[in-house]
Amino acid sequence: MNLEVVVVTLIKAAIIILGLLTGFAYMTLFERKVQARMQQRPGPNRVGPFGLLQPLADGLKLFFKSSAEPAGRDHLLYLAAPMLSVMAALATFAIIPVSGPGYITILGHNIGWYVMNANIGILWYFAVTSIGVYGIFLAGWSSNSKYSLLGALRSSAQMISYEMALGLSLVPVFILAGSFRLVDIVNAQNKWWFVIPLLPAFILYMIAGIAETNRAPFDLPEAETELVAGYHTEYSGMRFALFFMAEYINMITVSSIATVVFLGGWWGPFGVLPGPWWFLIKVVVLLYVYVWLRASLPRMRYDRLMQLGWKSLLPLSLLMMMATGVVVVAAQR
Amino acid sequence: MADPATVKPEVLSERDPAHEPASEWMELNMGPQHPSTHGVLRVRLKIDGEIIRDADSEVGYLHTGFEKSFEDKTYTQGITFSDRMDYLAPPINNVGFVMAVEKLMSLDVPPRAQAIRVIMMELARIASHGLWLGTAALDLGVYSAFFYAWRDRDLVLDLNEAYSGVRMMTSFTRVGGVAYDLPDGWLEQLQAFIDVMPPRIDDYEALLTHNPIWIQRTRGLGVLTAEQAVEWGVTGPCLRASGVDYDVRKAFPYCGYEQYDFEVPVGTAGDSYERYLMRVREMRASLRILQQALDRLPDGPVITSNRKVALPPRPELGKSMESVIHHFRLVSEGFKGPVGEVYACVESPRGELGYYLVSDGTNKPYRMKVRPPSFCNLQALGKMVEGRFIADAVAILGSIDIILGDVDR
């Protein structure tokens, strides 16, 4: 590995992290605005034009707030948990190609539109999100609070269960694309987006993805009316903000993966817009669905959620996987 | 879209085998500062995993001593206490209190005052049920329903304000009638409200009634059989959801309710879902009553002409010495009631709201006991949540519709 690769990767990582943090900030505003319009109220509109500076104000407030800490906590784990969550959330984005198929050429260097183009590709995503579960579980465990503990138990059970369906729902895509590399997968969608032949898998993936990110209607871990705030009940100030950040970045990542894997990534019809724009538009549309669901659906109950995960989504994903395999093999004969 | 009739009620065994011995159960404290207790209620839950084995409600965090305070104020002054108890249906409390005094003194109330009382009470019922719908939906994570419900409740508060000058604590009744006649343009405002509400109630129903998740979260939960409901003294929509047809407005008509044509919805299952349906239907029934009351609003005085109880009209004060004396006596020391005991009850959005008044012949109540529907309904909570999940406890508590001001007084 030469120095150039290291420097370029570091710069790209910095850009992605800054982009994601901005994305997170404006995702909160986007959510509040859209939800407010759905609920017949104006939403934040005091800070800056159209409330555009609201995320900044929220961020500053959280940054300067003192962090109250519960007595009897496990201090090391208590501090590590939010960092672990946010690190895992940020790291998953490394594999996502925001545009392509070419390179950007700067000073004679060809630079890809991704931080890394690992050949394990999407497996990286599964591996790193699994680490994110630790952040949540340790937060609940170390807070020395019953609400946190219950929230963390629910959350980890939910995330582990839905990871199965999440992973399996993507297998048909690997069968069609013949690769784990996200760049290859997007290139394979040059003509047809995979959402067309694999619509059921896309729906399964989105449901599992919403559950995986603990969002409504599967937002049980932080069911505020039942468990106060779930696993992050005892966190305040910037440490709370880190959990919040992790949740929203995870939403962006799930939507980005869906875009790359099912919606043709940077490919747009008619080719009128440059690749990154298509990518952004698709991600925002998927994020809108998140907000839309949150504004309209009640929360599911824990046991029903588990039933849905194990008894419906998992068998359906397996079925979809086998059906795709059979069709592909039959077509090759 | 799911048909609620076809969703089979959940069969959770009453007590599925305990995972852990009773000594290992965790005690979880819900409240008094918990986001879903609808006030400062503390519920101590004994939980085994996520299953509730025992629930113990502790009340009294909002105790304000209203009953005792009544003893220190004249009958007219007492009206302002009544609406502060159940702060989501103040007009109904006002009417219940003055009805007790009127019963004690055997007073007649002019028909126009009766109709105004009915209008205000039904508006309060719609507002209260609307607010209940919003908060109960919020408990289950439906944020939008909450905002829709509050938007519509605001229309009622506007009407309250236009009539009494106050948005919530109306205190508009007086012994023998109401304090003032309706202002100009108020009836048009009321008609506009009656016209705008049905489609909005349709909206709530569109959001919830056939929503599979909503049905899952409420069907078959917190079941009270008719016998249990009667034993625990449950009244109001909770009792009617269990299939007992008891509504004070029909059983012991007051304020001329017998003249209005309205149905009292009665359910069968006695679960949270049925309680939700009862309230939505009651909102529609209340709109019907409002329309009838508006169409047939009689003319005439709004307060009794008995000068020993009601203030003389303003113009008389300049002409009649007797009026001045009456006015002075009524304002300074009020009027005296005969010795006796009476019980008057009204149908509040939560159930039977009763005022038991003991008079020793002075200008103040000797004892005032309130029968609050929320307090009695809350007693059944333990029975309803046993063997359920923590998440259900919230849904069930929400479905009882308690107001802590009413519970603790």
Chain A: nearest CA to B47, how far in angstroms?
Answer: 11
Question: In which element (H, E) is residue B314 found?
Answer: none
pLDDT category at A247 given cuts 50, 70, 90 is confident
Chain B residues closer than 8 Å to A34 by CB: none
Q: Would the CA dihedral through B154, B203, A37, A86 be positive or negative?
A: positive
Asked if pLDDT for residue B165 goes beyond 60, the answer is yes
pLDDT category at A221 given cuts 50, 70, 90 is low
pLDDT tens digits for range B233-253: 889 898 898 888 888 888 888
DSSP sequence for B372-392: -HHHHHHTTHHHHHTTSBHHH
Locate B105 and state its tokens.
């003194």
Do B35 and A224 make contact, defined as CB atoms within 8 angstroms?
yes
Question: In which element (H, E) is residue A189 found?
Answer: none
Asked if pLDDT for residue B368 goes beyond 80, the answer is yes
pLDDT the model gives residue A227: 61
Asked if pLDDT for residue B3 goes beyond 60, the answer is no
Do B207 and A296 make contact, defined as CB atoms within 8 angstroms?
yes
| End-to-end CA, chain A | 43
Locate A11 and state its tokens.
């710069």
pLDDT tens digits for range A174-206: 888 888 888 888 888 877 888 888 888 889 899
- Nearest Cα to Cα of residue A167 among A311, A317, A306: A317
Which of A207, A297, A307 best probes binding to B when mutated, by most B CB atoms within 10 angstroms?
A297
pLDDT category at B15 given cuts 50, 70, 90 is very low
- Contact between B221 and B396 (Cβ < 8 Å): yes
Give the three-state DSSP class for A158: helix
pLDDT the model gives residue B258: 87
pLDDT the model gives residue B156: 92
Chain B: nearest CA to A172, how far in angstroms?
Answer: 29
Q: Which member of A35, A226, A297 has the closest CB to residue B36?
A: A226
Residue of A nearest to B396 (CA): A226
- Contact between A89 and A241 (Cβ < 8 Å): no
Q: What percent of chain A has pLDDT over 90?
A: 0
Chain A: nearest CA to B207, how far in angstroms?
Answer: 7
Strands (E), chain A: 104-106, 109-111
Instruction: Write A264-270 long-range contacts (CB < 8 A, 24+).
Output: A264/A186, A264/A189, A264/A193, A264/A194, A264/A195, A265/A97, A265/A100, A265/A182, A265/A185, A265/A186, A265/A189, A266/A97, A266/A98, A266/A99, A266/A100, A266/A101, A266/A113, A266/A186, A267/A186, A267/A189, A267/A190, A267/A193
Do B142 and A302 make contact, defined as CB atoms within 8 angstroms?
no
More confident position, A84 or A2:
A84
Give the three-state DSSP class for A261: helix
- Contact between B246 and B239 (Cβ < 8 Å): yes
Q: What percent of chain A has pLDDT over 70?
A: 94
Chain B residues closer than 8 Å to A300 by CB: 213, 216-217
Q: Which member of A39, A146, A217 has the closest CB to residue B141?
A: A217
Instruction: Kindly give the pairing relationship between strand B339-348 and strand B351-360.
Output: antiparallel
pLDDT the model gives residue B11: 47
Do B392 and A146 make contact, defined as CB atoms within 8 angstroms?
no
Q: Looking at residues B349-376, what average pLDDT do you find? A: 89
Chain B residues closer than 8 Å to A296 by CB: 142, 144, 207
Asked if pLDDT for residue A310 goes beyond 70, the answer is yes
Question: In which element (H, E) is residue B305 found?
Answer: none
| Residue pairs between chains A and B whose CB atoms are closer than 8 Å | 77
pLDDT the model gives residue B37: 66
Q: Which member of B28, B389, B394 has the closest CB to residue A225?
A: B394
pLDDT the model gives residue A42: 86
pLDDT tens digits for range B169-178: 888 888 888 8
pLDDT category at A56 given cuts 50, 70, 90 is confident
pLDDT the model gives residue B210: 84
pLDDT the model gives residue B193: 92
pLDDT tens digits for range B79-132: 988 888 888 889 999 999 999 999 998 888 899 999 999 999 999 999 999 988
DSSP sequence for A127-138: HHHHHHHHHHHH
Chain B residues closer than 8 Å to A301 by CB: 216-217, 389, 391-392
pLDDT the model gives residue A188: 80
pLDDT tens digits for range A124-182: 888 888 888 888 888 888 887 777 887 788 788 888 888 888 888 888 888 888 888 88
pLDDT category at A225 given cuts 50, 70, 90 is low
pLDDT the model gives residue A97: 82
Chain A: nearest CA to B126, how far in angstroms?
Answer: 20
Residue of A nearest to B10 (CA): A304
Q: What percent of chain B has pLDDT over 70?
A: 93
Q: Report yes or no: A32 at the B interface, CB cutoff 8 Å.
A: no
CB atoms within 10 A of CB B280: 21
Do A298 and B148 make contact, defined as CB atoms within 8 angstroms?
no
Q: Which member of B143, B213, B392 has the closest CB to residue A39?
A: B143
Strands (E), B99-247: 173-174, 177-178
pLDDT category at B35 given cuts 50, 70, 90 is low
Chain A: nearest CA to B148, how far in angstroms?
Answer: 7
Helices (H), A178-212: 182-188, 199-212
What residue spans define the domains of chain A? 66-96+115-332
Give the three-state DSSP class for A241: helix
Chain A residues closer than 8 Å to B133 by CB: none
ipTM: 0.74
Q: Report yes or no: A40 at the B interface, CB cutoff 8 Å.
A: yes
- Contact between A37 and A43 (Cβ < 8 Å): yes
Amino acid residing at B15: R
Q: Looking at residues A292-316, what average pLDDT do you find? A: 84
- Contact between B398 and B237 (Cβ < 8 Å): no
Do A297 and B50 make contact, defined as CB atoms within 8 angstroms?
no
Do A298 and B140 make contact, defined as CB atoms within 8 angstroms?
yes
Instruction: Kindly give the pairing relationship between strand B351-360 and strand B365-371.
Output: antiparallel
Asked if pLDDT for residue B13 goes beyond 50, the answer is no
More confident position, A185 or A318:
A318
Q: Looking at residues B25-34, what average pLDDT do you find? A: 76
Burial of residue B84, with CB atoms counted within 10 A of its CB: 0-12 exposed, 13-18 middle, 19 or more buried: middle
Average pLDDT score, chain B = 85
Give the three-state DSSP class for B98: helix
- Nearest Cα to Cα of residue B308 among B291, B324, B330: B330
Beta bridge pairs of residue B47: B26, B52
- Packed helices A3-38 and A275-296: angle between N→C axes, nearest 10 degrees: 40
Chain B residues closer than 8 Å to A39 by CB: 143-144, 147-148
pLDDT the model gives residue A237: 79
pLDDT category at A119 given cuts 50, 70, 90 is confident
Beta bridge pairs of residue B340: B359
Q: Would the CA dihedral through A216, A221, A225, A228 be positive or negative?
A: negative
Asked if pLDDT for residue B361 goes beyond 70, the answer is yes
Asked if pLDDT for residue B230 goes beyond 70, the answer is yes
**How far is the C-alpha of A201 from the C-alpha of A205, rounded, in Å?**
6
Q: Which member of B36, B208, B211 has the closest CB to residue A225?
A: B36
**How far is the C-alpha of A137 from the C-alpha of B323, rounded, in Å?**
76
Asked if pLDDT for residue A211 goes beyond 70, the answer is yes
Chain A: nearest CA to B385, how far in angstroms?
Answer: 14
Across A106-115, A153-162, B41-50, B254-263, least confident range? A106-115
What phi and psi, each to the nearest 5 degrees, are found at residue A120?
-80, -15
More confident position, B116 or A121:
B116
Q: 0.90 cut: is pTM over it?
A: no
